[in-house]
Amino acid sequence: MSKLKLATVWLDGCSGCHMSFLDMDERLLTLAELVDVVYSPIVDTKEFPHEVDIALVEGAVASVDDEKKIRKIRAHTKTLVAMGDCAVAGNVPSMRNPIGPQAILNRAYIENTSAQPQIPCLVVPRLLPIVRPIHEFVKVDVFLPGCPPSADTFYAALTALVTGAPLDIPALTRFGA
Amino acid sequence: MSEAVEVKTLIIDDREVSGRRGQTILEVARENDIQIPTLCHLDGLSEVGACRLCLVEIKGNSKLLPACVATISEGMEVSTHTERLQKHRRTILELLFAERNHICSVCVANGNCELQALGQSQGLTHVRLPYRNPDLHVDASHERFTVDHNRCILCTRCVRVCAEIEGAHVWDVMGRGINSLVITDLNDPWGDSSCTRCGKCVQVCPTGALFDKSKVGTEHPKHPDFLPYLNMMREAQ
């Protein structure tokens, strides 16, 4: 049997979910016998591959770039996993929602800056008015809440996804876990 | 037992159980270790039937009844965990999560929250409704306690404990529908209110809406279990 193609993606999150993923430690070796990591912040592939079996997406959709990425990921992925509370529920990035992006940018780049206050407008993508979980943009197949989901949660969930075994997510994790 | 006590026999989830006349379905179910989820109910406080999580099905009745206020009757057949009820309970929880800003990961009640625990026990992995993201304030004017309206689910436990147990009735509800807020006195800052500082409201709050300033991070378990004891001792006096 050929190995499944696994991608991991980092949208508007803190990378904590990826850290927790790496916390699987030696169990990563067991997983590596079943999957190939074809795209991830921890590998060098620049473009999201054409065909991916499982994509783990960390982070909420907060910018026009995030939105573009998540639509592309969905189009090329069989099983899309919302990884962690930001992807599942918005979480900390969504705390700016009642305030709005302009007020946040002003506070960060104008009000609290002593030298050359200016809001970045080149290269960095434009922020969306509201930060939203990924399932408000595309269909999500598996929701894995937690901030971050524990390494044990990752291992149990990935093993089940790869082998096709039943997966009881509320038994593994919850919002804020 | 006094002579006026009348025993009723009924069926809950295919089990024959009995209770005293006037007891609620919830009371009888819990006496028999049948768990019905609740949020606004708290042993020792009056019932308001507000959260609707305890809705149950009664055979022959097309309406769903809240188990916390529906009383038992002879021959009643109650179902507490049908697929329909579980679907409604999940939807209720989703509505609560979507209504205000419940960010579990940074909440003082993370790990000690009844809403969070119910979400997990009822199998909620995400909220299908769009989040409302309301702009709500935090009142930290009290020297010991804080109210964070972002986490409030309007269960009114604080209102009831303050009026019924403490006898102060500092807390009440202002506004209507989605604009409702719990308030102290006539919407005065908590620190300027007639609060007696007893802290009962903090202990009965199921979420991180009311919390003790001296407890930081996730070390904030609530202890609402003093209420039945307090009531029992008062009745004994």
- Residue A98: which of B120, B127, B133 has the nearest Cβ? B133
**What are the pLDDT digits (tens) for B140-181?**
999 999 999 999 999 999 999 999 999 999 999 999 999 999
Q: pLDDT band at A1, cuts 50/70/90?
A: low
Using the beta-carbon criterion (under 8 Å), do A176 and B120 form an inter-chain contact? no
Q: Quote the minimal CA–CA distance from B91 to chain A in Å.
A: 15
Using the beta-carbon criterion (under 8 Å), do A97 and B123 form an inter-chain contact? no
Q: Is the dihedral of CA B16, B17, B20, B21 positive or negative?
A: negative
Within chain A, where are the H helices? Answer: 16-22, 27-32, 64-75, 84-89, 101-106, 151-163
Instruction: Please give the Cα distance from A115 to B111 (Å, whole number).
Output: 42
- Residue B135: which of A89, A98, A133 has the nearest Cβ? A98
pLDDT beyond 60 at B193:
yes
Over residues B30-59, mean pLDDT:
96
Q: Quote the minimal CA–CA distance from A157 to chain B in Å.
A: 13
- At B106 the pLDDT is 94
Q: What is the pTM of this model?
A: 0.94
> How many Å separate Cα A20 from the centre of its chain?
12
Q: Which residues in chain B touch residue A99, judged by CB atoms under 8 angstroms apart?
A: 135
- At A54 the pLDDT is 98
pLDDT beyond 80 at B216:
no
Using the beta-carbon criterion (under 8 Å), do B101 and A176 form an inter-chain contact? no
* A148 cis-preceded (ω within 30 degrees of 0): yes
pLDDT beyond 80 at B219:
no
Using the beta-carbon criterion (under 8 Å), do A176 and B110 form an inter-chain contact? yes
E strands present in chain B: 7-12, 15-20, 55-58, 64-66, 77-79, 138-139, 145-148, 171-174, 181-184, 210-212
Beta-carbon contacts below 8 Å between A and B:
73
Burial (CB < 10 A; 0-12, 13-18, 19+), residue A129, is exposed
Residue of B122, B131, B149, B150 best to disrupt the A interface, most CBs of A under 10 A: B131
Q: Hey, what are A152's tokens?
A: 């044990």
**What are the pLDDT digits (tens) for A154-171?**
999 999 999 999 999 999
Q: Hey, what are B125's tokens?
A: 């992995």
Look up residue B31 and give its amino acid.
E
Using the beta-carbon criterion (under 8 Å), do B133 and A97 form an inter-chain contact? yes
**What are the pLDDT digits (tens) for A53-74?**
999 999 999 999 999 999 999 9
Tell me, yes or no, if A95 comes closer than 8 A to chain B by beta carbon: yes
